[in-house]
Structure 1
């Protein structure tokens, strides 16, 4: 039996949601795996004393989060496109877990914003040092993104001292040709001043997950109803 209008809207909403989720998940997984196994960074993971560093933890989180997102997308797309109730049930459970985890991480991160900001600065410093010594292109692209987004340049901002100034944005005015804002201070300042915005991003992500969960439940109910109607029809005919 065909889905009604609400079911079709939910089906295509889940398809779009999973498409975006897949792109983000593969990006996280790809960057995480590159940083984990790249020649310039692989040695860090082989040093036991650095296993608790911000860089190692961030890369591990990227790989784990990317893998989880890809797994969620597989169940979501398979269940929504083929109207499989079992896959939709697993997908709904995974969405519920992600929504709860998103809320917990957002609240804990906001409550410990100073410590989180310090870990982000440590992660940036690790990325900067690795690029300065290895010239890894993926790390370079990451630094370019950070530098342009925050309009900062390296750990000092002084053009003559910077080892990765090729990743810095174009200076605004004469004085910035000599010294731009240093990224560690900018990161701490932005994280402190934008903590409420970041909490809002986590809340918004949680809302999107809940909307996807509601659509999944609606589609699951209609799929089960259609399966029951088909079973009843064939039992009547035969």
Structure 2
């Protein structure tokens, strides 16, 4: 964990019926990060991961691909910059391009659902499968939501935003610069989500035989 807080007893994921991959994972009963899946392929992958040198950008050679990366979300300057910044400054944090995205409580799940119109009836509970190489980070998703909502050129000093995200900063104020010379301030709220480089299993379907 990237904080002094305990790992949540349960994790919560919105499993939308129109998302084939998510529904398939849910029916199987397992959501697993591509970082952990990739460790099964080679000793080299294990060494890269343990040393903090695993690069999950497409084309970098990691042997497994996450649903998030496969969906094309990675193919944006923001996600590319976030992954490069992680590699250079926070190499032992879970990657956005490998991790399972989840909430650690129903409160933050409900907050996200209210803001983004997500259906709370699709929220499912999961348990963390114990594994020594699991990595978990509690991060404020609103830094990324804010970055996506603005024109990139209006926010000078992108490094401050990326540091705030990877450092787990909560509420924060940003200054926007416009072509007209006008400046404005925007305060980012906090909605806490978890990036899990590990394996989550359905809470209603224990899987005692799951291998690591």
Q: Which TM-score applies when normalising by structure 1?
A: 0.23
Higher RCO, 1 vs 2 (CA within 8 Å, ≥6 residues apart): 2
- Of structures 1 and 2, the larger Rg is shown by 1
